[in-house]
Structure 1
Amino acid sequence: MKSILAFETPKEAVEYEIITKELMAKLKDYQQVLEQHYQLTTIPKGVLWTTAELVTTTFSSIPIPAFTREDIIYISPILKEWQNLLVSQLDGKAIPHIKSFYENFSTDQLFVILAHELTHHIDLFVDEFEDERHDSIWFEEGMCFYLPRKYCLTEEQFKEITAIEQELVNTFTEDYGQNDLNDFGSMSYQGSLSSIMFDYWRSYLKVKSLLEKLDGDIHGVFILYKKWHEQGRETSLVQYFEDIIK
């Protein structure tokens, strides 16, 4: 997989060369996990590293500086940009310990976002990039966070980010809890940053909850997900899991 530095000045490219090489080396190890266990058969051609401004205005209109297309992953390697963005998602709410966590957002957490984007490419997800996706994007997004967090973070880091996102869901439920998780999709990106992230937080927590009920059987959850699809998606995926996993 190519590592492509796409900055507006040579100085910026040099400044972020070290962190991008470090992240690409870690990504190669995680790629092997996906290839061996989760049917990653076609990898993207490269990772395009650039600024948050270029990711969100030139390469896309999504207000989050990381996304994947069929051939390329686009992402900012600039920790300060991520720190500022993730603090801003709190909408000024008085949760200082979470604000402090995001102000100190680490390379390990940035790597999870990069690995999240690669996880989208595994063949276990039934929808293709060009498909009009509905009813199940929450499952894909949640699993794309669960897998890299489970494989690439320490147990302490895993518990910390889980606790933080659970608290954030609790904090923002009054604002956005009426939104149907099954509707998570392209329309989600038209809301505020906190409303967008609310869907990501609860998607991850929903997937984690499903796995806890199935004793951590990741492939078992994927088997149920595929069965739901092959049976014609007769109910929403949320309802399907609720009916099967009591």
Structure 2
Amino acid sequence: MKHIYAFEDIKEYETHKDIIQRFSKRLEEYQYILEKEYLLMDQPKGIIWTSAEAATTVFSEIPIPAFTNKNTIYITPDVAAWRKLFVEQLDGKDLPHIERFYKELSENHILQILGHELTHHSDLFLEDFDDEREDSIWFEEGMCEYLPRKFLLSEKEFDEITAVEEELVEAFSEEYGDRSIDEFGSGSYTSSLSSIMFDYWRSYLYIKHLVEVRFKDDIQAVFEEYHKWDQEGRICSLSEYFELDQ
């Protein structure tokens, strides 16, 4: 992968160059795991490192400064910008311990977001990333959260983010809990940030439950069942197939 820097001036690049180097080294290690275990065959052509403002106003209109467009990953390495964004997703709810957690968010959590974007390129997912994805988008997004968290976060960080997102799902269930997980992303990018993130929180927690409880930590078995659902003709939604309502 090529690394391309899209900052407005050299000073901004110099501010972030050290963290970019750290992220790049660790991403190579994670990429090797994906290639060896999770069918990453065609890696992205490049990563464009940029500011949060450019990512969300110049390169896209998505309010989250990390995304994949065709064969290129766009992301800001600006930890302060990410901390601010994650506090904003609370929509003013009185959750001081979670707000404090996000204000002190570690570099590893930002690295995991980069890992999320790389994981999308695994050929274990049924739809090509750039295609119109239906029926199983929650599975892909949830797995793209779970895998990099499992391999890039410490055990303590993994447990902390899980507990935070469990509480956030509960806190926002009154607003968004009526919609099915199979409707992941329906109109979400024109909605509030909390509405967008609610689907990600739930998807991650569903995947974690499937892997660690239903399939006893066998990630490959979860993928096999996902492919079986497809091979059998998708006669029901994927959430029904996995009996998530139970």
Aligned to 1:194: 194
Aligned to 2:77: 77
Aligned to 1:18: 18
Aligned to 1:116: 116
Q: Does 1:51 align with 2:71?
A: no
In structure 1, list runs of 5 or more residues that go unmatched: none
Q: CA deviation at 1:217?
A: 0.9
Q: CA deviation at 1:130?
A: 2.7
Aligned to 1:223: 224
Of stretches 208-217 and 118-127 in structure 1, the one that deviates more from structure 2 is 208-217
- Equivalent residues of 1:134, 1:185 under 8 A apart: no
For residues 2 and 37 of structure 2, the distance between their equivalents in structure 1, rounded to whole angstroms, comes to 23
For residues 173 and 34 of structure 2, the distance between their equivalents in structure 1, rounded to whole angstroms, comes to 33
Superposed counterparts of 1:43-192, under 5 Å: 43-185=43-185, 187-192=187-192
For residues 34 and 233 of structure 1, the distance between their equivalents in structure 2, rounded to whole angstroms, comes to 26
- Equivalent residues of 2:185, 2:199 under 8 A apart: no
SS in 2 for 1:215: coil
Aligned to 1:238: 239
Aligned to 1:207: 207
For residues 26 and 96 of structure 1, the distance between their equivalents in structure 2, rounded to whole angstroms, comes to 31
For residues 130 and 158 of structure 1, the distance between their equivalents in structure 2, rounded to whole angstroms, comes to 29
CA RMSD of aligned residues (A): 1.3
What is the identity percentage for the equivalent residue pairs of Structure 1 and Structure 2?
Answer: 54
For residues 150 and 130 of structure 1, the distance between their equivalents in structure 2, rounded to whole angstroms, comes to 25
SS in 1 for 2:243: helix
For residues 189 and 35 of structure 2, the distance between their equivalents in structure 1, rounded to whole angstroms, comes to 30
SS in 2 for 1:16: helix
Paired residues in the alignment total: 245
In structure 2, list runs of 5 or more residues that go unmatched: none
For residues 185 and 233 of structure 2, the distance between their equivalents in structure 1, rounded to whole angstroms, comes to 19
One-letter amino acid of the counterpart of residue 239, structure 2: V
For residues 117 and 130 of structure 1, the distance between their equivalents in structure 2, rounded to whole angstroms, comes to 13
For residues 3 and 18 of structure 2, the distance between their equivalents in structure 1, rounded to whole angstroms, comes to 12
- Equivalent residues of 2:150, 2:158 under 8 A apart: yes
Q: CA deviation at 1:152?
A: 1.4
For residues 234 and 62 of structure 1, the distance between their equivalents in structure 2, rounded to whole angstroms, comes to 33
- Equivalent residues of 1:133, 1:185 under 8 A apart: no
Per-residue Cα deviation, 1:96-119 (whole angstroms, up to 9, x for no partner) = 110001001111100000001000
Q: Does 1:8 align with 2:8?
A: yes
TM-score, with normalisation over the residues of structure 2?
A: 0.97
One-letter amino acid of the counterpart of residue 237, structure 1: L
For residues 18 and 3 of structure 1, the distance between their equivalents in structure 2, rounded to whole angstroms, comes to 14
Q: CA deviation at 1:186?
A: 5.4
